[in-house]
Every structure is written in C-alpha cells, then in structure tokens.
Amino acid sequence: MIAMSREIKKLQGIFTRLLQLVTAVAGLLLSAFPYPASFYAWPKVLVLGSWIVSYLWIRPNSKPSKIVLAISLAIGIGCGITYWVLIDSMTITVEDKVYIRGELTDDAQEYLKKKPSVTEKEYFIQSGKKEDWVWKPKSRRKPRITLGLLYSAFIFFFGLSIMGALEIYSRSEPQSENSEEESDDDDKPSEEESDDSEEPSEVQ
C-alpha cells in the first residue's frame, strides 16, 4: 500500500507539471507570434495534442524517440520562421488584432484610386473592420490556409519536442529511483544471511 501511494503521488506530480507546461507553452507561443483572431483556440488544442502523442509514443532511452524529437524541433523552427516572414505580407494588424488580407473588392479599389492618400489599413478601419467589405472572401482562403498550416505545424512540432523531452525526463527519473530501491532491497537479504551464518558459529 505504501509503495502504491508513492507511485500515485509521483503520477500526480508528473501530471501537474505537464498541465502547467501546457499552459506555459501555449501562453509563450501566443505572446511570441502574432496570429489571426480566427486561430485563437488553436494553440492550446495543438499543444495538448502534442502532449498526448508524446505520452503515448515517446519512450526514454529510445534512439528513435530522440531522433523524432530532434526532427520535430527542426520542423517547428522552420515553420515558425516561414510563418513569421509571410504574416506581414498576408495580414493587417489593427489594435493588436491580426486580420487576413486578400484581393481588394471593386468598391475598395475605386475608393483608394480616388483617394490615394488613404492607405489600405486606414480604409479597413473606416469600413468598421469588416473584412468581406474590403477584401474578396475567396481571395482570403489561400492565405488563411497557408498561415493556418504553418501556424499549426509550428505549434504542434515545437510543442511535441518540448513535451517529448519532458516525458523522457519524467519517465527516466522514477526508473532510476526504483533501481536504487531494488538495489537496496537486494542488499538487505545478503546482510540477514550473513547474520544467520554468524549465529551458529557463536553457539558452538
């Protein structure tokens, strides 16, 4: 019973650390990268998904697992850099909110031709921030998909590398403790046997 309670406490501690890490990583990614408002719910879901994958698949002291984590880290960084480069050309930021751009509507083109001093961003603000009034809806699908895939890949693979590293650490630590306990248990019978062997000699 005592050993079982210790294992339960260890599992609770690991689960708590992982939940804290999910929240911390999601917050870090949200603050580090600008993202469209339509992507708001993605980071936590994707980071949670990467944790589930790492929990079910990653194993400590496994070379394939470490190789996968290294590849995931490289893919995540590459997608993050690409996303950072493309987001300025595909979006407009107004009051800390990111909106996906597209091809201007006919009315927007005519207005901007008549008033060249007005920028696309200013026209968007004047229109009440109504995206479909400023840009054609179909033209916004491609940048939405492109940025969405890059953003998802960055968060998932980068999160997988972090979660996997933590998973390896959390699973290897209890094993080392258990091995020490087993070694201590192995030592105890030897001491008892030595005591038993000495007793008959004293009686004689």
Determine if the pTM surpasses 0.85: no
Q: How far apart are CA 143 and CA 40, in angstroms?
A: 17
Q: How far apart are CA 155 and CA 162, in angstroms?
A: 10
Beta bridge partners of 36: 98
Q: How far apart are CA 26 and CA 16, in angstroms?
A: 16
Structure-token match 């998932």, residue found: 156
Q: Name residues whose C-beta falls within 8 Å of residue 147's C-beta, 6 or more positions apart in sequence.
A: 36, 39, 83, 86, 87, 90, 91, 100
Query: How large a percentage of the chain has pLDDT more than 90?
Result: 23
Alpha-helix residue ranges (DSSP H) falling in 33-140: 42-57, 63-90, 106-114, 120-126, 131-134
CA-wise closest residue to 138 among 89, 108, 105:
105
Whole-number pLDDT of residue 59 = 74
Confidence of residue 175 (pLDDT cuts 50, 70, 90): very low
